[in-house]
Amino acid sequence: MTASAQARELLQLAAVAADSKAGEDLVALDVSGPLPLTDIFLLVSGNSERNVVAIADGVEDALNEAGVRTLRREGKEQGHWVLLDFGDLVVHVFHQEDRQYYSLERLWRDCPVVPLDFMSRQPL
């Protein structure tokens, strides 16, 4: 099974929003095979607790403005690992040190990487 077209569209919106708030090391993983409840994980790093919260807020605002409801939100108070569940897309925003510690890329290494289209565009 592969990620749905809707999940891929949500991914692009979330990635652009995360990038606009100085999110770093964006990686998207197609977890639709092993996980029946979601299609894609987007992993993003922030360089401080404040940056992590700003990235999470930016992603949530962008998807909510596009009509996508946030189903679950966890960790925003601490600013180390914020999880945003939008159904087909789950966004993990980590402080850099926490991302290294939990190493979700290693845990989900068998899942294919989903390309982020906006990152390949060159400025005019």
Domain layout of the chain by residue ranges: 5-115
pTM of the model: 0.91
| DSSP character at residue 47 | S
pLDDT band per the 50, 70, 90 thresholds, residue 119: low
pLDDT tens-place string over residues 9-65:
999 999 999 999 999 999 999 999 998 899 999 999 999 999 999 999 999 999 999
Handedness of CA 55, 20, 71, 28 (dihedral sign): negative
The burial of 91, by beta-carbon neighbours within 10 Å (0-12 exposed, 13-18 middle, 19 or more buried), is given as: buried
Coil vs helix vs strand at 2: coil
**What fold is seen in the domain 5-115?**
Beta Polymerase; domain 2 (3.30.460)
